[in-house]
Amino acid sequence: MLQLRPTFSESWYRVAALKPKLRAGAQISRQFYRGDRWYVVRDPAGNQFHRLSDPAYRFVGLLNGKRSVEQAWDLVGGQLEDDAPTQPEVIQILSQLYSANLLETDITPDATVLLRRHKKMVERKLQGRLMNVLFPRWGFWDPDKFLKHWLPVMQTLFSWAGAVVWLLVVGLALSLVLPDWTRLKAATEHAFDLQGNWENLFWLYGVFVFVKVIHELGHAFACRRFGGECHELGVMLLVFMPCPYVDASTAWGFPSKWQRIFVGSAGMIVELFFASFCGIAWHFVDDAAYPILSQLLYNALFIASVSTLIFNANPLLRYDGYYILSDALEIPNLRQKSTEYALGLIKRHIFRVKATQPLPPWGQRIWLFLYAVASSIYRVFIGIMIVVLVAFKVPILGVLMAIGGAVTWAVVPVYKVTKYLLLDPELHRKRTRAMLFSGAVAAALVLGFGVIKFPRHVEFNGVVLPANPVTDGRQISGMLTTRGAGRLVEILAQDHQYVEKGQLLVHLEDPELTCKAREDQAELNAALARATRDAFTDLNAFQADQAYAKAYREALERDEKQLAELDVRAPFAGVLIAPKIEQFQDNLIPRGTTLGQVAVLDKLEVRGNIEQTDYELLFNNKATTEALKPEIRLVSNQARILKGGELTPLPAATDQLAHPAIGTPGGGTIQVDPRDPHGRRARQPELEVRIQLPNDTRITPGQRAYVRVTIDRTPYLYEWTRRFLQLISSHDTGKWL
């Protein structure tokens, strides 16, 4: 590989006379990276590691505190030998070691290059202190004796035979647990049911600590296995949550990268092993008989498998997976280097700044680039997820975190970029170009998110229902319910037939009632006949006859009313929907039986519930001048967009949903009060809206639909802010904490 390496540096005179030497405590070990020999210099106090190339090491080895930098450089080959460090490289090595506090020297005022690095080191120290405040750790146990004692046992596990056993156990656990998918799903829902099962949070945390102790001991044993030492096991605060840690950093000095990778993976290896045992046990434990045991086993299974794979194995987070990847790719400080490389691409190719440091080898560049892209996307994504999630649960904390996020992702980068563009010496003569490009990018961002208006929508769930006629603001029910009991003797209409209002559909017969009506009729006739006879002869008898007649007339009227109730008629004009009506033929039908319904099918109606804020946007928005045109997608056919008629709101807020299907138990999105057995009472007052939907394509009513209404056009930034605030207020339960 041919790289342009300038031999001389104009800053050389500042360091040439220094007489530094490596600090006494610095430890040096040898490693092989990509076939080259490297030296790792380790400062035991700060746990910092620095890799030196072979020539760089030869140079550093010559620094004994008496020799000047100039003399050492001459000795190592200086300008003569090809692989000897050049002057700029020497300066870089010195400042690197110096900033890591690995070098003893008196700084001359002239050594400004080093001083600049020194200033950065102070900043880094402050950062380190801040990290100590945010993530404090207390080591309280030296596990070395314990590790030594048990190492023979663990060593058998960390062997090829152990690997086979591991695979068998994990395989068995997977084959037992995964097919039990429904139980697994139910257990997951139960374990994280914050309302019904909040005690489990404590169980989860207890199990978490236990599992993490196992994890950390896995690292420690693996480290010991290859001769590394481990003298500290303790507790650290991770996001205010105490959890165990082990200091196995001696493994970083292992010469073989496979050993380092094994130590890094050992935590997960033992955790997955443990998870498998818990999974197998969970499979055989009866939930009902041993609820707590089953819960604990499930917790351990979940934490030691899912959470471990999501957090520990993930190379985009700074846990085990990151160090494993960094070792596997043989790129130390992967994150920092990838950022530097990605920024370097912009600097070199767009700003046309010349590279001051040697570029990473070709084989690494693609990895550095991919890692930089993946980790930036991931960090922003996770950040937003966390803010939204926290805002959902604890609004005020969510707002604070959102402000923090805006500062770290917007204000700080803008400040840094501005400072770089205005002041950084490396932009000398390229400044205008860099500023123009950065300005263009900034303008594009501002235009895209803050100025250009994109359509804004309100979305909600609805249910498609027949548009039955309305009286007094309420829909007439089309249900055909019997109002009397009797034998069904006649069906006068067919399923899917069009029927007129009042048309007789079904006739029931009640022989007893018919008989009684005949008797009452006969009695009435007799009383009337007697009355005609007595009218001119016996006034008292006439009055009695008339009373009889009145009583029987009333009885007969009641009979007739009851007889009429045996008829089932169409409440309004529409289509008869009664697919099972034939089954009722000749059966005795009790009162209150639903035989079918009449529905207006040529006109449908979509009913849904929306939140107060959406209501304001839809109906009290001055920007909305045109009529709102809802787009409706049916659950049964989401690809097709139906054009709905005008959107009409019902005047008052209610806690009753338009239909149970809109609530979460019915598959919809609105949170329902769990105490309501019908699943119709919303947690928050909602407003009902209705949309006319002409049914020219034979849509089946009763299904759920997604409704989207375009309100107006707004830049994305406003819309996202609005949605975020809406999220907060919609789950605001009165208290903000």
The DSSP secondary-structure symbol of 672 reads B
What is the per-residue binding string for Zn ion in 648-667, x denoting contact by CB under 5 A? --------------------
Distance separating alpha carbons of residues 580 and 562, to the nearest angstrom: 25
Report helix, strand or coil for 229: coil
The answer to whether the Cα torsion of 137, 141, 145, 146 is positive or negative is negative
Q: Which of residues 321-360 bind Zn ion (CB under 5 A)?
A: none
Compute the least distance from the CB of residue 251 to Zn ion, in Å.
Answer: 11
Residue 278 or 324: the one with the smaller Cβ distance to Zn ion is 324
Nearer to Zn ion, 267 or 596 (CB): 267
Least distance between Zn ion and beta carbon 43 (Å):
23
Residue 272 or 672: which CB sits closer to Zn ion?
Answer: 272
**Least distance from Zn ion to the Cβ atom of residue 232, Å:** 14
Q: Is 320 in the site for Zn ion (CB under 5 A)?
A: yes
Residues 6+ apart with CB under 8 A from 496: 575, 576, 577
Q: Which is nearer to Zn ion, 78 or 267 (CB)?
A: 267
Q: Does 520 bind Zn ion (CB under 5 A)?
A: no
Are 58 and 76 contacting, i.e. CB atoms less than 8 angstroms apart? Answer: yes
Three-class SS state of 500: coil
Give the residue with the Cβ less far from Zn ion, 247 or 510.
247
Q: Minimal CB distance to Zn ion: which residue?
A: 267
What is the nearest approach in angstroms of Zn ion to the Cβ of residue 249? 12
Which of residues 323 and 351 has its CB atom nearest to Zn ion in the complex? 323
Return the range that interacts with Zn ion (CB under 5 A); candidates 312-320, 419-427, 583-591, 663-671.
312-320
Q: Which of 208, 552 has the CB closer to Zn ion?
A: 208
Q: How many residues bind Zn ion (CB under 5 A)?
A: 2
Number of H helices, E strands in the chain: 21, 26
Alpha-carbon distance of 106 to 93, in angstroms, equals 17
User: Which residues are bridge partners to 709 per DSSP?
Assistant: 458, 630
User: Given the rule CB under 5 A, which of 153-161, 166-174, 318-326, 611-619 is the region that contacts Zn ion?
Assistant: 318-326
Which residues touch 221 (CB under 8 Å, ≥6 apart)?
147, 150, 151, 154, 158, 266, 270
User: Within a 10 A sphere around the Cβ of 148, how many other Cβ atoms?
Assistant: 11
Q: CB-wise, 266 or 600, nearer to Zn ion?
A: 266
| Choice between 147 and 506, CB closer to Zn ion | 147
Q: Would you say 320 or 611 has its CB closer to Zn ion?
A: 320
Distance CA(55)–CA(470), nearest Å, equals: 91
What six digits make up the tokens of 457?
């929508």
- Interacting stretch for Zn ion, rule CB under 5 A, among 15-23, 320-328, 478-486, 498-506? 320-328
462 touches 452 (CB < 8 A) = no
Q: Residue 226 or 542: which CB sits closer to Zn ion? A: 226
Distance CA 248, CA 320 (A): 12
Minimum CB–partner distance for residue 233 and Zn ion (Å):
13
- Residue 326 CB, shortest distance to Zn ion, in Å, is 14
Closest approach, Cβ 218 to Zn ion, in A, equals 8
40 or 243: CB nearest Zn ion: 243
Structure tokens at 447: 């235009």
Q: Where are the alpha helices (H) located in 623-702, listed in sequence order? A: none
- Taking alpha carbons only, the member of 517, 519, 520, 549 closest to residue 532 is 549
Identify which range of 247-255, 315-323, 389-397, 416-424 contacts Zn ion by CB under 5 A.
315-323
- Considering only residues 184-243, where is the footprint of Zn ion by CB under 5 A? none
Residue 89 binds to Zn ion (criterion: CB under 5 A): no
Chain Cα centroid distance, residue 622? 35
Smallest distance from Zn ion to CB 312, Å = 5
Q: Name the minimum Å distance from CB 320 to Zn ion.
A: 4
Select from 455, 460, 454, 453 the least CA-distant residue to 708.
460
C-alpha 493/C-alpha 515 separation (Å) is 27
* Nearest distance from C-beta of residue 227 to Zn ion, angstroms: 20
681, 673 contact by CB (below 8 A): yes
Rg (CA), the chain: 41
Report the alpha-carbon distance of residue 642 to residue 695 in Å, rounded.
Answer: 10
Site for Zn ion in 239-298 (CB under 5 A): 267
The distance of closest approach from Cβ of residue 406 to Zn ion in the complex, given in angstroms and rounded to an integer, is 32
Least distance CB 389 / Zn ion (angstroms): 24
Measured distance CA(187)–CA(206) in Å, rounded: 18
Q: Which residues bind Zn ion (CB under 5 A)?
A: 267, 320
